Amino acid sequence: MTNDSEIKRSYLLAKERYDRIGVNIDGVLEKLKNISLSLHCWQGDDLGGFEKPNAHLEGGGIQVTGNYPGKARTIDELRMDLKKAYSLIPGLHRLNLHAIYGEFGTGLVDRNEISPDHYKGWIDWAKQENLKLDFNATCFSHPNADSGFTLSSKDKVIREFWIEHVRRCRSISAYMGQELKSPCIHNLWIPDGTKDIPVDRWTHRALLKEALDKVYETEYNPSKMKDSLESKLFGIGSEAFVVGSHEFYMGYAISKGKMLCLDLGHFHPTESVADKISAILQFLDEILLHVSRGVRWDSDHVVIMNDEVRNLAEEIVRSNALDNIHIALDFFDASMNRVGAWVIGARATLKALLIALLQPLEKLKNVENEGDLFARLAVMEEARAMPYGAVWNYYCLKMDVPPGDFWIEDVHRYETKVTNKRKN
C-alpha cells in the first residue's frame, strides 16, 4: 500500500525547496501533464506483427534477443498488455503502430496491398481508450528485403514494391490522423546497407532520393499526418554502409520540409543527440525522437534514466522546444517482462523530462550571461541533489498511477494472472 499522506508531506517539503530556487512546481506539473509519449507497439511481441503467415524478424539490421514467456500472440492480447502498461504511466499517451500490426484476416495481405480498412480496429480501439496514433512503414522482415535493400535497391521491381508500401502507409496515417483528430506521424526507417565496404554508394543514395520523391508525391494536410525520416549509423549486417545516413536524411528533410527522426541508439557513442536539437531546429520546425538505449552493437535496449536521456530532456526544455519535439520510445527486449519494459522506459523518459522542467533555468541563464562559469557548473551540480523524487511520487498520485516502485507488484500480478498463462 502506498502511503499517500507521507507522499504529500514530502512533496510539500520539496515544493518549499524548489520555491526557494525560483522554480514553480505547479507550472512544471502542468507542462509535464501535456507531454504525450508515443508508446511503440512492438515491445509487446518482439516485433512479430500479425501478418499471416507470421513474419519473422530476420535481417533488416535489427534483432530481438531473448525468449521470456508471455508475449502477446494476438491483437487482443497486445491491446490488453498495452492497456496495462498505460495504466502504470502517468499522463495521456499515444500509440505507435508498425504496418505489420494490421488486422489482416486469414489470408495473406502483402505490404503493397494494405489499406486503411486493416487498421480500423486499432482506430476504434484508440477512440475507446482515448489514444492518438502514429504509424510506421515496415520495410523489413519480408522476402523483398532479403537482399539488404528496399527503397534503394537496384532492382526496379523491388523498389517499386516498397514505394507502393510506403505510399499506402502514408495514406493510412492520414486516415488515422483524420479519424482521431490529431496528426499521425508517419516515420520511415529502412534497413538498406551493406556488411562490407561497397564501391557504389552513390547509386544507392541516388536511388533512395528518387524513391523518396515518389513516396512523398502525395501531399497531406499536416493536421492529418506528418512525415519523418530516421537515419542510422550502422545495423547488424549493415556495418560498413547505411544508405539512409544522418547526412542523407538531414539533407532530404531540410530540402523538403520533412521531420527528421533522431534515434538515441543511431549515432556514434560519444556523439550527443541532445546537442543536435538546437542545431536542427534552426532549420526544421519539428523533430521526432526515438528514445532508446544503445549498448555496444545494439541500439534498442530498454530506456533508463541515464545521462543521455537527461541531457536530451534538458536540451528540449532549454531550447523551449517542447512543442516542436515529438517523443516516441523505441526499444525491444524479449528477455524480460514486456509490459514491465514498456513502463520502465516510459517512466524513465517522463522522469527525465520532469527533472529538466525542474531545473533552475532563469538562475542558470543569469550566471551564464554574467560569465560566472564556476557558478553555472555549481548550480547544475546542486540541482542534481534536489528532491525531484518527491515531486514525481506526488505527480503519480495526482495522475492516479502507482508512485515509487509500487507499480512493480502490479506487473508481477498481471504476469501471474495473464501473461504466464499464455503458451507461446
Nearer residue to Zn ion within complex by CB, 189 or 392:
189
Does 394 engage in binding with ligand RNT (CB under 6 A)?
no
Catalytic residue among 298, 314, 315, 415: 298
Taking the complex as a whole, the smallest distance from the CB of residue 137 to ligand RNT amounts, in Å, to 9
Nearer residue to ligand RNT within complex by CB, 175 or 331:
331
Nearer residue to ligand RNT within complex by CB, 42 or 394:
42
Taking the complex as a whole, the smallest distance from the CB of residue 43 to Zn ion amounts, in Å, to 12
Taking the complex as a whole, the smallest distance from the CB of residue 178 to ligand RNT amounts, in Å, to 23
Catalytic residue among 179, 227, 263, 333: 263
Which residues of this protein are in contact with Zn ion, per CB under 5 A?
Answer: 263, 290, 330
Does 189 engage in binding with ligand RNT (CB under 6 A)?
yes
Catalytic residue among 81, 192, 330, 333: 330
The question of whether 266 is a catalytic residue gets the answer yes
Catalytic residue among 45, 300, 308, 415: 300
Q: How far apart are CA 238 and CA 234, in angstroms?
A: 6
Taking the complex as a whole, the smallest distance from the CB of residue 20 to Zn ion amounts, in Å, to 40
State the binding partner of 352 from Zn ion, ligand RNT, none, CB within 5 to 8 A by kind: none
Place of cell 554502409: 241
Does 204 engage in binding with ligand RNT (CB under 6 A)?
no
Residues 334/67, Cβ–Cβ less than 8 Å: yes
> CA-CA distances (angstroms) from residue 313 to 288, 327, 409?
13, 10, 28
The string of DSSP letters for 92-121 reads: --EEEEEGGGS---SS---GGG--GGGGHH
Catalytic residue among 266, 276, 326, 351: 266
The question of whether 263 is a catalytic residue gets the answer yes
Using DSSP's 3-state secondary structure scheme, residue 23 falls into coil
Nearer residue to Zn ion within complex by CB, 330 or 415:
330
Q: How far apart are CA 394 and CA 15, in angstroms?
A: 11
The H or E element that residue 350 is part of is helix 338-357
Nearer residue to ligand RNT within complex by CB, 153 or 238:
238
At position 422, the amino acid (one-letter code) is: R
Residues 6+ apart with CB under 8 A from 152: 159, 190, 192, 204, 205, 207, 208, 211, 243, 244
Binding mask 60-99 for ligand RNT (x = CB under 6 A): --x-----------------------------------x-
The H or E element that residue 295 is part of is strand 293-295
Provide long-range contacts, Cβ within 8 A and 24+ apart, for 306-309: 308/264, 308/272, 308/273, 308/274, 309/264, 309/348, 309/349, 309/352
The question of whether 330 is a catalytic residue gets the answer yes
State the binding partner of 227 from ligand RNT, Zn ion, none, CB within 5 to 8 A by kind: none
Q: How far apart are CA 231 and CA 200, in angstroms?
A: 19
Catalytic residue among 71, 93, 232, 246: 232
State the binding partner of 136 from ligand RNT, Zn ion, none, CB within 5 to 8 A by kind: ligand RNT
The string of DSSP letters for 296-328 reads: TTEEEEPP---HHHHHHHHHHHHTT-TTTEEEE
Nearer residue to Zn ion within complex by CB, 62 or 281:
62
Place of cell 565496404: 197
Nearer residue to ligand RNT within complex by CB, 81 or 415:
81
CA angle 419, 423, 103 (to 5 degrees): 80
Positions in 217-256 near ligand RNT (CB under 6 A): 230, 232
Binding mask 282-311 for ligand RNT (x = CB under 6 A): --------x--------x------------
Positions in 107-136 near ligand RNT (CB under 6 A): 136
Q: How far apart are CA 254 and CA 284, in angstroms?
A: 6
Q: Identify the residue among 134, 330, 333, 415 touching ligand RNT (CB under 6 A).
A: 330
The question of whether 232 is a catalytic residue gets the answer yes
Helices (H), 193-272: 201-215, 246-256
Q: Is 128 exposed, middle or buried (0-12, 13-18, 19+ CB in 10 A)?
A: exposed
State the binding partner of 299 from Zn ion, ligand RNT, none, CB within 5 to 8 A by kind: ligand RNT
Does 263 engage in binding with ligand RNT (CB under 6 A)?
yes
Nearer residue to ligand RNT within complex by CB, 238 or 393:
238
Catalytic residues: 189, 230, 232, 263, 266, 290, 298, 300, 330
Binding region for ligand RNT (CB under 6 A):
42, 47, 62, 98, 136, 189, 230, 232, 263, 290, 299, 330
